[in-house]
Amino acid sequence: MVLWMNAICKEISMPHLGVGSYSCIEVSIRGRLAKRSKKTAPFLIASCRLIAMRKSYQTMAGNKSLNAAIKAKQDEFYTQINDISNELKHYRNHFCGKVVFCNCDDPYESNFFKYFALNFNSLGLKKLIATCYDGSPVMGNELLLQFDTPNCEPKKIAYKVEITEVDDYNGDGAVNLADVAYLLQNDKNVLSRLKGNGDFRSPECVELLKQTDIVCTNPPFSLFREYVAQLMKYEKKFLIIGNQNALKYKEIFPLIMRNQLWLGNKSGDMSFQVPDSYEARETRYWQDNSGQKWRSLGNICWYTNLDHKKRHELLDLIREYSPKEYPTYDNYPAINVNKFADIPCDYDGIMGVPITFIDKYNPDQFEILGVLNHGCDSEFDLAKPTINGKDLYSRILIRKKK
C-alpha cells in the first residue's frame, strides 16, 4: 500500500494531468496500478491530490456557501459504525446470499459501506453496492475531483462501487480509504462513475435498486417520505435510519398499521458526525479533539421490514382497568392510557397509547387501528385526543389481539 501511495503521490506533481479534461467513466483499480490506463489515472490522481490538500479543502468548505441548500435541509448526518453494528447484529440471518445496496453512501466515508465490506464474508453477502450522491458536501473529502480553474469549489462526483469478493484485509483491523482502494484491487470489484448525480431516484440508481435484496442506509431526512415510497414501490427489504416524527406521517403510519414497516431494535439517542459547514448549536452539538463536529438527536430510530426477535416479545401487562384511571376520550370511544407500561391486562376494547408504544409493538399481541392526532391528517387520523376539553399529545389506537 505504501508503494501504491508513493506511486500516485509522485504523479501529483505532474501538472499536465488536469483531471477535468478526461472523461473518466469507468475506473477499476487492479493490480496495484500495474494495469492503470490513461482513463483511470486522473481519477486516482484526483483522489490522492485531495488527500494531500485535504486541510485546505476543509477550510474552503467551511468558509464558502457550499451546498447552502443541503445545509438548510440538514441532511448530512453521518452514522457511527457502532450504531450500525449494534443494530445489524439482530438481522444477521437475513443477509446470506443477498445483494445489499447502500444508496445514499459514499463508500469512502459511509460506515454502512464499511460495515458491509468488513462483514461481507461473515454475512455471506452475494454483492454490495454503494452509490455516492454528488450533492454531498465535503466531509471525508477523500474522493473529489479538483477542477483546474482557480477558486473553483471542490466537487464531489457521483459514482458507484460494486463489491462481489472481499479478500482478507490488510490486517490493520480497520476499513478506511486504503482498504477501500485495497478492495478495488480485486478484479471482481468495480468503481465506476455514474452518468447522473447519484440521486436515489435517478434511473440508474433505480436499476441498481431493482437488482437489490436489502437496502440499508441512513437516507436524507428531508426526503424520508419519498425514500420509503420508493422502497415500497419496488417491494424491497430494508433497514434504514429515520426520525421518530416520521411515524406520524400520513405516508408512513398506514404502513405501520398494515405491518409493512416496523421499528428496529434501537430507538432514541444517536450521535452523528456532521460537516464542517454546520453551525454550532447550544444543545446536542460538540466538537471533538480533532475538530470534528457532532450532533446528537434524541428521537432517532431504525425502520425496517426485516423480522427480528424484539418484535415478538410480549409486553408484560400488570395494571387492571378502572374507568377512573382510564377515562374515555371526548370524541372517540377509546380509553386513554398515559404510558404503554400502564396498558391494562383486562381491557379488550380500543385504547389510546403514546406514540412511544410503537417501539414495543408486537403484532402477535396487539393490532393498530389508527391514530388520534389532529383528526384530519389522513383517513387513519380518527380524532383529536381530548379529555374533558383538555388536549392531549398524539395517541395511537390499539386493541389486544384475541
Ligand X SMILES: C[S@@+](CC[C@H](N)C(=O)[O-])C[C@H]1O[C@@H](n2cnc3c(N)ncnc32)[C@H](O)[C@@H]1O
Residues with Cβ within 8 Å of 140's Cβ and at least 6 positions away in sequence, in order, are 106, 108, 109
> Residues, the chain, total?
402
Among residues 175, 225, 218, the alpha carbon closest in space to that of 87 is found at 218
> From the CB of 111, what's the least distance to ligand X, in Å?
6
Cβ distance to ligand X smaller for residue 228 or 351: 228
Task: Report the sign of the C-alpha dihedral through residues 229, 364, 123, 247, in that order.
Answer: positive
Closer residue to ligand X, CB minimum distance, 118 or 396: 118
Chain residues that interact with ligand X, rule: CB under 6 A: 75-79, 104-105, 110-112, 133, 135-136, 198-200, 217-220, 223
- 42 exposure class (CB count in 10 Å sphere: 0-12, 13-18, 19+): buried
Least Å from the CB of residue 103 to ligand X: 6
Q: Nearer Cβ to ligand X, position 179 or 381?
A: 179
Sign of CA dihedral 256, 260, 265, 269: negative
CB atoms within 10 A of CB 290: 5
* Residue whose entry in the numeric block shows the C-alpha cell 380524532: 383
Q: For residue 246, what is its C-alpha cell?
A: 416520521
The H or E element that residue 132 is part of is strand 127-132
Environment class of residue 203 by beta-carbon count within 10 Å: exposed (0-12), middle (13-18) or buried (19+)? exposed
**What's the min distance (Å) between Cβ of 75 and ligand X?**
5
Decide whether 111 or 305 has the Cβ nearer to ligand X. Answer: 111
- Nearest by Cα to 337 from 254, 290, 400: 400
Q: Considering the complex, what minimum distance in angstroms separates the CB of residue 223 from ligand X?
A: 6
For the bound state, the minimum distance from the C-beta of residue 53 to ligand X, rounded and expressed in Å, comes to 21
In the complex, the smallest distance separating the C-beta of residue 64 from ligand X, rounded to whole angstroms, is: 17
Instruction: Give 111 or 277: the residue with its C-beta nearer to ligand X.
Output: 111
Distance CA 394, CA 136 (A): 35
**From CA 276, how far away is CA 167, in angstroms rounded?**
34
Minimum gap (Å) between residue 242 Cβ and ligand X? 10
Whose Cβ is closer to ligand X: residue 197's or residue 378's? 197
Smallest gap from Cβ 104 to ligand X, in A, equals: 3
> Smaller CB distance to ligand X: residue 133 or 326?
133
* Closest CB 107 distance from ligand X, rounded Å: 10
CA-wise closest residue to 294 among 281, 307, 309, 311: 281
Cβ contacts of 84-90, under 8 Å, gap ≥ 24: 84/111, 84/112, 84/115, 85/115, 86/265, 86/266, 87/239, 87/264, 87/265, 87/266, 87/302, 88/115, 88/119, 88/216, 88/239, 90/264, 90/265, 90/308, 90/309, 90/310
| For ligand X, the closer CB: 87 or 105 | 105
Minimum distance of ligand X from residue 80's CB (angstroms): 8
The backbone torsions φ and ψ at residue 68, rounded to the nearest 5 degrees and listed phi first, read: -60, -35
Contact present, 14 and 42 (Cβ < 8 Å): no
Q: Given the complex with ligand X, which of 75 and 162 has the nearer CB atom?
A: 75
Taking each helix axis from N to C end, the angle separating 54-63 and 40-52, rounded to the nearest 10 degrees, works out to 80
Q: Which is nearer to ligand X, 32 or 73 (CB)?
A: 73
